[in-house]
């Protein structure tokens, strides 16, 4: 089974599909054995079915959780009507959700600084090539 917490929501393994679960059910042993046989210990079929049912239920919950929230933005527009755009997780659409406050992660901040420095260097080199001194 997959521990989603350890992967920050990224799954290394997909849960088995319904087809796979159906195939597993098909592969349950179907062997006729004498009633007193001690050669094989058959798996606990009752518990296996419970495990399969639990996995199905977990898959159903994950599926429902993955569905997009059917929610509109609802911000008041210039026409006075509520905005009908689909809402982002913050409850507003991309037009009404507020401006970005910039990169958050250390890598993102470093990329942003590098891009600024690179742009500044390009500008400076252009100026030098032109021979401009000021203004
Ligand atoms: Zn909106």
Q: Are residues 63 and 18 part of one domain?
A: yes
Average pLDDT over residues 58-76: 79
Q: How confident is the model at residue 26 (pLDDT cuts 50, 70, 90)?
A: low
Q: Exposure of 116 by Cβ count < 10 A (0-12 exposed, 13-18 middle, 19+ buried)?
A: exposed
Q: Are residues 19 and 51 part of one domain?
A: yes
Structural Rg of the chain based on CA atoms: 29
39 or 123, higher pLDDT: 123
Element counts in the chain: helices (H) and strands (E)? 3, 0
Residues with CB under 5 A from ligand 1 (ion): 73, 75, 83, 85, 93, 95-96
Q: How far is the CA of 84 from the centre of ligand 1 (A)?
A: 6
Q: What is the number of domains present in the chain?
A: 3
Q: How far is the CA of 83 from the centre of ligand 1 (A)?
A: 5
Q: Are residues 9 and 48 part of one domain?
A: yes
Q: Are residues 4 and 52 part of one domain?
A: yes
Look at residue 37 and tell me if it is in a domain.
no
Q: Are residues 75 and 63 part of one domain?
A: no
Q: How far is the CA of 100 from the centre of ligand 1 (A)?
A: 16
Q: What percent of the chain has pLDDT over 90?
A: 25
Q: Are residues 2 and 26 part of one domain?
A: yes
Q: Are residues 63 and 73 part of one domain?
A: no
Q: What is the pTM of this model?
A: 0.29
Full domain range(s) for residue 76: 69-98
Q: How far is the CA of 63 from the centre of ligand 1 (A)?
A: 26
Q: How confident is the model at residue 4 (pLDDT cuts 50, 70, 90)?
A: very low
Helices (H), 1-135: 18-26, 45-66, 106-130
Residues 6+ apart with CB under 8 A from 48: 28
Q: Are residues 106 and 80 part of one domain?
A: no
Q: Are 73 and 83 in contact (CB under 8 A)?
A: yes
Q: How far is the CA of 90 from the centre of ligand 1 (A)?
A: 11
């Amino acid at each position: 089974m997959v521990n989603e917490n350890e992967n920050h929501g990224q799954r290394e393994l997909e849960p088995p599909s319904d087809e796979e679960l159906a195939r597993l059910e098909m592969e349950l042993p179907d062997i006729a054995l004498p009633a007193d046989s001690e050669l094989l210990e058959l798996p606990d079929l009752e518990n296996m079915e419970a495990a399969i049912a639990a996995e199905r239920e977990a898959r159903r919950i994950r599926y429902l959780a993955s569905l997009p929230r059917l929610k509109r933005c609802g911000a008041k527009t210039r026409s006075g009507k509520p905005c009908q755009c689909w809402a982002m997780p913050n409850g507003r659409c991309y037009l009404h959700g507020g401006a970005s406050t910039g990169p958050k992660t250390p890598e993102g901040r470093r990329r942003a600084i590098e891009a600024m420095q690179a742009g500044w260097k390009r500008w400076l080199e252009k100026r030098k090539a032109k021979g401009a001194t000021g203004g």
